[in-house]
Structure 1
Amino acid sequence: MTSSSSTFGGDPGTATLARISTEFDAIARQMSTVSAEFAELRRIVAGPTVTSAPPQAASPPLVPPSRPWLPTAPPFAQPHRTTAPPMPPGPAVPPMPRPTNAPSYRPPASPVVPPVTPPPRPPRPSMSERIGAAAERGLIGKILATAGVGVTLIGVALLLVLAAQAGVLRPEFRVAGGAVLAAALVAGGMWLRGRADGRIGAIALTATGIAAGYLDVLAATKIYEWLPIVPGLGVAGLVAAGGLVLAHRWRSEHLGLLVVVPLIVLAPVLTGGLDTTLIAFMVVLCAASAWVQLGRDWIWLHAVRLAAPTIPLTLVGLFGLVGWSAPGSADPVFATAVAVVVVLGVAGALVTMPTTEFREAMAGLASATTVPALFAGTAMHLPGAVILQISIALALIGTVLVGSGLMGSGLMGSGAAARLMPDSVAQIWSATALLLLFVAVLVSFDGAVAVAVLLGLATVTGLVARTWSTTSRVLLAGSSVIWAIGFAALLDAAPPFVLADADLIGRDANLGIVVASLFAASGALVLATGWARITDETVSRAAHIAAGLVVVYTLTAISVTAGVLVGGSDGFLAGHVLATTCWMALAGAALAFARRRNGAARTAAVTGGLVLVAAAIAKLFLFDLATLDGIFRVIVFIVTGLILLGLGAWYARALQDDGPAQPGSATAV
């Protein structure tokens, strides 16, 4: 056996040195592999978003502390071997072959992130698939059952009406046959309700039987006149109430709709059109079915119930608008019916308000019941119509006030669900009341009086909106619209060219223009302040500029009109002297206001004051100098000059009292 010393030329020292060098070389390669594995682990922990970094700087060479002349280990970040330092003088040592099983290091590859593709859209179902899905949900059965209800009721109507016209069967057999058919249908529906999967058929049969029953009662009351109107309507209401009892018990809004909707469609056929009997029956139906909302949040049935009397009452008003006289347009009947329907709508909304999910819809439906009152002036005598409109408006305002007070005081409990009247409901009903008052003013007054009342209504509403934040935006918007309509009417009654002509203003001047101008000026200031409170600076500046222009115009109208009313032609001249003086006084007020403000508000006030001064001087030389004569011309020039002197002296002293302003500051205006 050959020894290791013989293998390396028989020199033990050389062989030992070569073996140690080989072992250090293997250790270096192993540590390089461990370093690469640590780098890979760090990349995995950092996540896929970490990109590959450039190769790190080489670590210091690994050198044994006691043998500084031995070959150095390769850096951890480099997979190849470094060149060993030169060996000391001695016998040559053959190079050692690299072991074949030594692990090789490969730098980690950069992570490849696959592109994110959106998931493919599912294919749209075909028509046959949609029909099959509808059949599975029972929709086709409901459609067929509803169609069957309509066809059957048409047959019952033909039995009751057309058979009477053709003389087929005796009246007793017709009515009795309709009653038997109605009872059989209801009994069949109740029997089918107890069977499995019989809900849809039971609802359809029961709805058909109940509708046939009250159509039979209406025929006996209206066509054959066997029952007086009041007992006949009472029996029909009991039949409809029985159907709604079943709907409430079966928890089926569908059944309730099938009980009420056919009545609204077919009842006018039996009553012969729109008359007092139809209106009274619809009101009774709405009142008798009010309880069905208790414990059931059925918004569609509630809408149909309120529409039953509201639609015919609205038609009565529309017929009066075009000059037709409807049978139900008698003052007591129309007013009572409208009042009852409005009470039912508002009361129903208030009762269900704490539990319903459709608060705004309930409030909107209650407001819709006031639509017939808007046309009351065409269906009633004017005083009664105005009283009806004002009464409903005041009732809505009182309801909003009480409801908002209870909401704020906590009497209804804590939390949004316990509030009696949310802000949105208060806004809807406040807007409805404002609309009713607006219509009442239009039908009650005309001419300058109507303009003054409209502007006064807008001013009062703006003041209410300023102090009542619950409905401020709605009331501000409504009052702004009414004010704009009133101011447009004021401009039509007293345009600027009329104010500049003594003959025209002498013919058109009246006290209504003076009062309307006062309300226009005060309303403009109130509304501008209200909008400035709830909007940004740009809207606020525009509102105040518009209000300033309105105030200037209305003061001119007041001065000239009042002067003409008091002194005739001389009053016209005195009025323009007063108007020019007022312009200068307003300019002084704007400059005084600017002294108490800073920033943009001060700049706007100073600009407005100076513009008004320029306008007053222009009026003085372009109009007053040519129009006025005698003492009026002297007075206007002297007064205007003195005001200008006073403003100049006061403003210069005010700047001196403020001290030197910093350049670029807001006070250096």
Structure 2
Amino acid sequence: MNNNSDPAVAAARLGDELSSIAGRMSALSSDFAELSASLGKPVTVTAPTPEPAPQPQPQPQPQLQYATATPFGRPPVQPYNPQTVYPQTAAPQQHVGYPQHPGARQFVPPQPPAPKRSFSERISDAAERGLVGRILAAVGVGITLIGVILLLVLAAQAGLLRPEVRVAGGALFAAALVGIGVRIGRREEKRSGAVALVATGVAAALFDVLAATTIYHWLPEIAAIVLGAAIGAAGLAVAHRWNSQTLGLMVSIPLLTFAPVAAGGVDEVLVSFMLAYAASTLWLQMGREWTALFVVNTVAATLPLFAYLNSSEPLAWFAAVAALINLAMALGSTMLLAPSSSRSTLLGVTAVFAGLPVAMLGSLDSISRHTGAAIVAIAAVAFIAAALISRGQTKISYGCRVLWLSAGALFLALAMGAALDASMMPLGLLVAAMVVLIAARWSDDLELPVRIIGTVFVSIGLLALLAVGGVNQLLILGSLNTSQQATLLIGALVGLATVTLATRDWGETASSKQQLWLVGGLIDLWLITELCVSVGNLVTGGSDGGFRGGHLAATLVWFGSAAAALLWARTLAGSARSLTLATGLAIITAAVAKLFLFDLAALSGIYRVIAFIVAGLVLLSLGVAYAQRLTSDEPAAQ
């Protein structure tokens, strides 16, 4: 009987196939669960069930054996065993929401959103962090100091209490607050409240000194200034010991706000008092990152100066001295505090703000024009010196130094504007531009900004030269007086040197040298024309012959310059030749345009004849020279 047709064998084979299908389905389910876990989908994990009690093992059944050979020579078919084909199906692993195979990304199940906290809970958290306490303390400082101001000033106006009671009461109140604050501040956890107490006491003591001096006149002014500086230094010494910039800000901000009220207005005493306070607290900021305190103290010393300069009768000498002291103190403080600050640029901007009152001195009626110009020039020198001296200090940023240099240039321009008349302003600007451009070569890392400043001065000076009468002199006969013509003559000479210097300096680093030299050459042609016409007018006393002779000379100079450039180009090679040739051709074009558009109508008689004959001869000579060069080059090319 054939084994292949035996029902028992067929049933065994059918059971093996069903077991194989079940194993593959189990493997597919396991892979699908693993894929779901890697895609972030939650996978339900069932709790492990208790193991069943051990059952008696059935007796092993004899395996059916297949034929060892097949009719086609293939290897015999082995019985199916799920443990060897699909080993993972024998003990399926449970997935808990992240992949188990090595090398796969770990899956983090999404966290549920945090429950929204109520407003009262957030307030409670802020109170735990101390934020509520600091806010309440800051508000308490302001309200308490307003009460002190009411006691010292408004009570005096209303006649409440005796002056001795008001001043003594304010002093005792301030001393009590400082004493209690220092005692409480011994413990670190209570220091935030102690800071507010000490700051209130120090500010109240400063207001008390101001009121006793300016309102009741009990203290000499010098004594009040010295006492105020001592109180400020002692109060901020506590801030230094506790390393609390907040304490200093809680003193300086109320002092900036309420000091004019306590002093009964802005006068010399208040300005000096604020300057002394800012100076006495400087040493406490050294070595600390207290940029905010420096800014507030500088503003507190500068704003009263603005108010004083805008008052009805400011003392000229006092305003000048106070403004210069404020500027020197701000610049010096910046240099001292920059090594410990990460925001030196902000310190530099604050120092520039401190110098603004100096710029206002030139407009005071009580100060002469030349005195005000000298004071503004001192400020300009101070800014420029600070920018150059701080060159080796790495903590002072490059932007801060450039800012100081720009401020110095601006103050220098203001000083010239205050010292010079409108007719002399072009000369001052052009001379300053020449000095700045020469100094740029020794400015090291500041060479580029110094050159930019010099170029700006050149541009403004040339525009001022046009405004003085540079256009009228060229177009209208007799439109300028002798003084204006002399100014144009000197301005044209200085302008020629300055424009040529600026063009050469920028040409060393610019990529488009040809365009730069073309622009510089055209500006020089205009200045040469101004020079020639000015000389003609001054020599002939402004006659018609001098005007026409000046224009004739200018035209001849234009053609001569073009001829020189074109002939020089013959001796050059490469980019130098191209640059010189382009410049010469541009000048020739401009000269021919001037000859036909202006000289043909403005000149008459012998002047017109000379201009056209000389221009024609120059062009003929240049044509012959360049034709000869081309002819001589032709055999070489063959």
User: Same fold by TM (over 0.5)?
Assistant: yes
User: What secondary structure, in the 3-state scheme, does the structure 1 residue paired with 2:424 have?
Assistant: helix
The change in CA–CA distance for 1:237 and 1:402 in structure 2 (over 3 A counts) is closer
Q: Give the conservation status (yes or no) of the 8 Å contact 1:518–1:558.
A: yes
Q: Give the conservation status (yes or no) of the 8 Å contact 1:509–1:564.
A: no
Paired amino acid for 1:167: G
Aligned position for 2:77: 98
Aligned position for 2:378: 391
TM-score by length of 1: 0.74
Deviation at 1:532, TM superposition (A): 3.9
The change in CA–CA distance for 1:532 and 1:175 in structure 2 (over 3 A counts) is same
Deviation at 1:387, TM superposition (A): 1.3
Equivalent-residue separation in structure 2 for 1:122 and 1:432 (angstroms): 55
Which residue among 535, 539, 552 is the counterpart of 1:562?
535
User: What secondary structure, in the 3-state scheme, does the structure 2 residue paired with 1:198 have?
Assistant: helix
Equivalent-residue separation in structure 2 for 1:559 and 1:534 (angstroms): 33
Equivalent-residue separation in structure 1 for 2:279 and 2:604 (angstroms): 74
1:591 and 2:581 are equivalent in the alignment: no
Equivalent-residue separation in structure 2 for 1:148 and 1:593 (angstroms): 83
Deviation at 1:221, TM superposition (A): 0.9
Q: Give the conservation status (yes or no) of the 8 Å contact 1:434–1:478.
A: yes
Q: Give the conservation status (yes or no) of the 8 Å contact 1:290–1:344.
A: no
Aligned position for 1:295: 287
Q: Give the conservation status (yes or no) of the 8 Å contact 1:247–1:256.
A: yes
Which residue among 359, 369, 387 is the counterpart of 1:374?
359
Q: Give the conservation status (yes or no) of the 8 Å contact 2:362–2:376.
A: no
Paired amino acid for 2:523: V
Deviation at 1:275, TM superposition (A): 1.3
Which deviates more from structure 2 when the two are superposed, residues 274-283 or residues 523-532?
A: 523-532
Equivalent-residue separation in structure 2 for 1:273 and 1:660 (angstroms): 93
Equivalent-residue separation in structure 2 for 1:489 and 1:223 (angstroms): 52
Equivalent-residue separation in structure 2 for 1:607 and 1:164 (angstroms): 83
Equivalent-residue separation in structure 2 for 1:302 and 1:93 (angstroms): 101
Aligned position for 2:48: none
Partner deviation per Cα, 1:285-308 (whole Å, 9 max, x = no partner): 122122112221211111122222
Paired amino acid for 2:325: V
The change in CA–CA distance for 1:658 and 1:348 in structure 2 (over 3 A counts) is farther
The change in CA–CA distance for 1:272 and 1:378 in structure 2 (over 3 A counts) is farther
Aligned position for 1:479: 454
The change in CA–CA distance for 1:522 and 1:176 in structure 2 (over 3 A counts) is same
User: What secondary structure, in the 3-state scheme, does the structure 2 residue paired with 1:511 have?
Assistant: helix
Equivalent-residue separation in structure 2 for 1:125 and 1:531 (angstroms): 64
Equivalent-residue separation in structure 2 for 1:519 and 1:298 (angstroms): 49
User: What secondary structure, in the 3-state scheme, does the structure 2 residue paired with 1:510 have?
Assistant: helix
Q: Give the conservation status (yes or no) of the 8 Å contact 2:267–2:308.
A: no
Aligned position for 2:428: 453
Equivalent-residue separation in structure 2 for 1:596 and 1:137 (angstroms): 82
Equivalent-residue separation in structure 1 for 2:116 and 2:517 (angstroms): 60
The change in CA–CA distance for 1:548 and 1:122 in structure 2 (over 3 A counts) is farther
1:549 and 2:522 are equivalent in the alignment: yes
Equivalent-residue separation in structure 1 for 2:322 and 2:602 (angstroms): 61
Partner deviation per Cα, 1:406-453 (whole Å, 9 max, x = no partner): x3xxxxxxxxxx648654343222212111110001111122211121
Which residue among 395, 398, 406 is the counterpart of 1:431?
406
Aligned position for 1:648: 623
Identity of aligned residues (%): 36
Deviation at 1:248, TM superposition (A): 0.9
Which deviates more from structure 2 when the two are superposed, residues 140-149 or residues 649-658?
A: 649-658
Partner deviation per Cα, 1:48-95 (whole Å, 9 max, x = no partner): xxxxxxxxxxxxxxxxxxxxxxxxxxxxxxxxxxxxxxxxxxx98887
Equivalent-residue separation in structure 2 for 1:226 and 1:662 (angstroms): 103
Task: Please provide the CA RMSD for this pair.
Answer: 3.6
Paired amino acid for 2:380: A
Paired amino acid for 2:229: G
Deviation at 1:585, TM superposition (A): 2.6
Equivalent-residue separation in structure 2 for 1:604 and 1:131 (angstroms): 75
Equivalent-residue separation in structure 1 for 2:421 and 2:307 (angstroms): 26
Unaligned runs of 5+ in 1: 1-6, 8-90, 106-111, 320-324, 408-417, 664-669
Deviation at 1:162, TM superposition (A): 1.0
Partner deviation per Cα, 1:183-236 (whole Å, 9 max, x = no partner): 111111112112352111000000001111111111111111111111122112
1:360 and 2:333 are equivalent in the alignment: no
User: What secondary structure, in the 3-state scheme, does the structure 2 residue paired with 1:236 have?
Assistant: helix
Aligned position for 2:325: 340
Which residue among 144, 152, 156 is the counterpart of 2:136?
144
Equivalent-residue separation in structure 1 for 2:139 and 2:419 (angstroms): 49
Equivalent-residue separation in structure 1 for 2:633 and 2:104 (angstroms): 70
Q: Give the conservation status (yes or no) of the 8 Å contact 1:624–1:633.
A: yes
Deviation at 1:243, TM superposition (A): 0.8
Equivalent-residue separation in structure 2 for 1:190 and 1:371 (angstroms): 39
The change in CA–CA distance for 1:571 and 1:307 in structure 2 (over 3 A counts) is same
Aligned position for 1:24: none
Matches within 5 A, 1:255-654: 255-317=247-309, 319=310, 325-327=311-313, 329-379=314-364, 380-404=367-391, 407=392, 419=394, 423-496=398-471, 498-504=473-479, 509-535=484-510, 537-538=511-512, 540-567=513-540, 568-592=543-567, 594-595=569-570, 602-653=577-628
Equivalent-residue separation in structure 1 for 2:179 and 2:632 (angstroms): 97
Which deviates more from structure 2 when the two are superposed, residues 148-157 or residues 446-455?
A: 446-455
User: What secondary structure, in the 3-state scheme, does the structure 2 residue paired with 1:278 have?
Assistant: helix
Equivalent-residue separation in structure 2 for 1:122 and 1:425 (angstroms): 48
Aligned position for 2:237: 245
TM-score by length of 2: 0.77
Q: Give the conservation status (yes or no) of the 8 Å contact 1:452–1:486.
A: yes
Paired amino acid for 2:316: D
Partner deviation per Cα, 1:450-484 (whole Å, 9 max, x = no partner): 11211221232223224424212322333333332
Equivalent-residue separation in structure 2 for 1:188 and 1:429 (angstroms): 45
Paired amino acid for 1:170: R
Paired amino acid for 1:290: L
Partner deviation per Cα, 1:610-655 (whole Å, 9 max, x = no partner): 2321221232233223322232223222322332233334444556
Which residue among 224, 227, 249 is the counterpart of 1:232?
224
Partner deviation per Cα, 1:533-579 (whole Å, 9 max, x = no partner): 455x24x5554333222112111111112211212221111111111
The change in CA–CA distance for 1:575 and 1:204 in structure 2 (over 3 A counts) is same
What is the total number of aligned residue pairs between the two structures? 549
User: What secondary structure, in the 3-state scheme, does the structure 1 residue paired with 2:423 have?
Assistant: helix
User: What secondary structure, in the 3-state scheme, does the structure 1 residue paired with 2:357 have?
Assistant: helix
User: What secondary structure, in the 3-state scheme, does the structure 2 residue paired with 1:168 have?
Assistant: coil
Aligned position for 2:49: none
Q: Give the conservation status (yes or no) of the 8 Å contact 2:228–2:276.
A: no
Equivalent-residue separation in structure 2 for 1:481 and 1:519 (angstroms): 15
The change in CA–CA distance for 1:133 and 1:383 in structure 2 (over 3 A counts) is farther
1:184 and 2:176 are equivalent in the alignment: yes
The change in CA–CA distance for 1:557 and 1:258 in structure 2 (over 3 A counts) is same
User: What secondary structure, in the 3-state scheme, does the structure 1 residue paired with 2:341 have?
Assistant: coil
